[in-house]
A = this chain, B = another copy of it.
Amino acid sequence: MTDQRIEGELPVTDAASAAADVPADATMLVSGFGSVGYPKAVPLALAESDRDLSLTVVSGGSVGEEIDVALVEADAIARRYPYQARSPARAAANDGRMAFADRHISTLGDDVQFGGLVDPDVAVVEAVAVGEDWLIPSGSVGHTPAYVERADELIVEVNHAQPRSLAEFHDIYRPALPPDREPVPLSTPDERIGGPRIEFDADALAAVVETDRRDEPYEFREPTETDRAIAGNLRSFLTDEVERSPLFADSVRVQFGVGSLGNALMGALADADFGDRDLIYFGEVIQDGLLDLLDSGRLEAASATSLALSAEGQDRLFADAERYAEDVVLRPADVSNRPALIDRVGVVAVNSALEVDLYGHANSTHVDGSRVLNGIGGSADFTRNAALSIIALPSTVGDGDRSRIVPMVPHVDHTEHDVDAVVTEHGVADLRGTAPRERARLLVDRCARPDYRERLRAYLDRALDSGGHEPHDLDAALSWHE
């Protein structure tokens, strides 16, 4: 494969010049998902300019410090969707300095295209190659196809530090607008239905900027004893379920949430005994744990929208991209996270949460109900539409300082109607078909840390005095968070 990155007579310029043409109050759509594949040079140039900026920045998912640190610290972002995972952005959202709204990943492309959310001015996207009317994204696809289609102007950052061979992973498909929206023609999770290129209107291409700045890689902590105990409980629950359910006669399709726990749980599948069933990943991000499963032959195929790897994982993948690309497909986020496909594939979804309450409602986003952490991301896309939805989390914060099984969550991201089972290091609560009072007993007995069980039972007993289908003592319901 050639390493030519720029094909044709294109408006190549430097980052500062490209940035200077972005209006001070622009709505800027940026590539990036799982902290990879986002533009770096133009956001940095914007941050370093002395202009008084008031940008609306819409990314696919999480992006790196060039945007959520540098631009935020320059006080240049007035409004931000749909996810952030860096302290300065988080602080700005919590202070109210930055109007942040988190959104479901699956519908963000639609939200932008339907026009109810924003009126986009410019898309700034990272690519490994660009031509007059096409580009090839780098380490993530995210919502770049929708953004490129919708923005009036397009700035492409061609990143020479990203291997050209990332093109091998991409499968670009665009759903049409309703009511003429056809079903996505994907019949197996690893099928390819498009090509590596995102096409655009040649007139929209305002600038091409060359860079060679790498994504800041993920750092996964070593699995803790708690991680390993959660993984063990999850493995044992899944093994029984796979044996029992007609859904898993031939294969098991899984999704795991992003992060160190998710990565550790992926690794835990290595020694799961699913008989001769194929294991397939249909999720949002490829993390190191999946590379291990691919290398060992345990994992048949993986579909996602982002390669969110550690530095070592990036090296492994980049060194052998063509081989990995035989089994790994990166799709637009409105394909990877699409409710219809999660349903058709019949996914087992494993996501974490900050806390779960006695009736199975989960809080993934707001500490004590007020302070946002990152955003809901794709967790509800999968939890809501999976064939089996599991919330996996440690029973406490830190070393037992605070229970993650609480009387009432002060913020709900996943309702009781969507959570099938909860797994902690102490056990599994299978909530399917249970009435709320039964759920409470199961969560206390199986999932709570033993030294919190008495307090939880005391709350429940008091709540039962006033009765009700989902008994609460509203006086005390949030007292664990005050």
Interfacial residues, chain A to chain B (CB-CB below 8 A): 79, 81, 93-96, 99-104, 110-111, 114-118, 177-179, 181-184, 187-189, 241, 244-247, 250-251, 253, 339-340, 343-346, 361, 366, 368-372, 376, 380, 384-385, 387-388, 408, 410-413, 415, 417-418, 420, 432-438, 463-464, 466-472, 474-475, 477-478, 481-482
Contacts and interface: CB of A to CB of B under 8 A. Distances in A.
Count this chain's copies in the assembly. Answer: 2
Contacts of A413: 415, 417
A177 to B, nearest CB: 6
A474 B368 contact: yes
A387 to B, nearest CB: 6
Contact of A469 (B111, B178, B372, B415): B372
A430 B369 CA distance: 23
Contacts of A247: 114, 177-179
Contacts of A376: 415, 417
Chain A facing B: main interface SS: loop
A353 to B, nearest CB: 13
Contact of A177 (B103, B346, B385, B437): B346
Given A101-B436, A118-B433, A410 B183 contact: no
Given A81-B433, A100-B435, A344 B388 contact: no
A344 B468 contact: no
Contacts of A246: 114-115, 177
B346 A470 contact: no
A401 to B, nearest CB: 18
Contact of A433 (B116, B182, B433): B116
A179 B478 CA distance: 41
Contact of A115 (B115, B245, B345, B482): B245
Contacts of A477: 369, 410, 478
Contacts of A340: 183, 339-340, 343-344
A183 B380 CA distance: 21
Given A178-B346, A183-B344, A370-B469, A114 B245 contact: yes
Given A179-B344, A474-B368, A387 B434 contact: no
Contact of A371 (B111, B245, B345, B469): B469
6 contacts: A111-B433, A116-B433, A178-B344, A183-B183, A366-B469, A369-B470
A356 to B, nearest CB: 13
B387 A467 contact: no
Nearest to A100: B435
A468 B438 CA distance: 34
A182 B341 CA distance: 10
Given A115-B246, A178-B253, 13 more contacts: A99-B438, A114-B387, A115-B245, A117-B432, A178-B343, A179-B247, A182-B187, A183-B183, A361-B412, A366-B468, A371-B468, A384-B384, A412-B415
A325 to B, nearest CB: 22
Nearest to A480: B474
Contacts of A466: 370
A188 B181 CA distance: 10
Nearest to A385: B339
B467 A94 contact: yes
Nearest to A102: B417
A181 B343 contact: yes
List 4 A-B pairs, minimum CB-CB distance, nearest first. Answer: A178-B346, A370-B468, A183-B183, A340-B340
Given A246-B115, A467-B370, A339 B343 contact: yes
B178 A345 contact: yes
A306 B187 CA distance: 31
A467 B95 CA distance: 6
A7 to B, nearest CB: 32
Contacts of A118: 433
A117 B418 CA distance: 13
Contacts of A344: 178-179, 181-183, 340
A18 to B, nearest CB: 26
Contacts of A94: 467-469
Contacts of A415: 376, 380, 412-413, 415
